[in-house]
Amino acid sequence: MTHLLVSVRSAAEASAALAGGADLIDMKEPSRGSLGAAPTEVWREVADTVAGRVPLSVALGELIEASETPPLPPADCSFLQFAKLGLRGCQALRRWQDAWLKTFEPWPAHVQRVAVSYADWRKIQAPPPEEVIDVGAELGCRVWLIDTCDKTAGGLLDYASPGQLRAWMDRARNRGLQVALAGSLTLAAIDKLRPLCPNWFAVRGAVCREGREGTLDAAAVRGLKLVLHRKDQRESVLQK
């Protein structure tokens, strides 16, 4: 079954995501970019609201900025399962993986690092997805996420065809990585990508009023979750 990851910016939005049936809640601040970091006090407020009912993920911003002022884990981060850094502008770094490792040094091992590729990698000078997948596997990542960095210039399918995404996903899975698809996904895009069977579809704008910087809507989360669930049930019956 493909699960639904919903990104939230507050405890109130986390409550709405839970009410809608989100399988994984990701904490970010959308006004700060694709992987904008939310204030650490928001992490605790969200964790208290979720109370362990679903796994939690946190966005830590872009490596090129985080390496200068590394984001430190809270004294108690037992509530976190995943953390991720973007690689915008890192194509020119000779050994971006060294900076990536150093940034994550203070983080406990139970917080799984996510290897993040950007489908618009050429435009924003990030490493190519193949490199991120290979390096991520070598560095012990368990999940590969592909997203878009520039949220004003189209979604995932504007930069990569389903065939290209399948090739990247096969590469990731052959290296033991689970797969999350993101990138301004609409319901139509999710429907087109469902045959690829990612482990997660990751959304925000699709379940918000007035776009990704608007307010998360529990009814929209519930509607998307029902669409995924019904299709999973139908495909399961057909396979039998």
5 three-state secondary structure: strand
Residue 51 pLDDT exceeds 80: yes
When divided into structural domains, the chain yields a total of: 1
pLDDT computed for residue 238 by the predictor: 36
pLDDT computed for residue 16 by the predictor: 98
Comparing C-alpha atoms, which of 27, 6, 2, 1 is closest to residue 222?
6
Taking only the tens place, the pLDDT of each residue in 149-191 is 999 999 999 999 999 999 999 999 999 999 999 999 999 999 9
- Of residues 130 and 240, more confidence is placed in 130
Domain that holds residue 32: 3-239
Burial letters for 221-234: b for 16+ Cβ neighbours within 10 Å, e otherwise? bbbbbeebeeeeee
Residue 235 pLDDT exceeds 80: no
Rg (C-alpha) for the chain, rounded Å, is 17
pLDDT computed for residue 68 by the predictor: 78
Q: Any idea what the CATH number is for the domain that residue 213 is in?
A: 3.20.20.70
Q: Which two tokens stand for residue 95?
A: 């050994």
Q: Which two tokens stand for residue 226?
A: 């029902």
Q: CA torsion 14→17→21→25, rounded to 10°?
A: -60
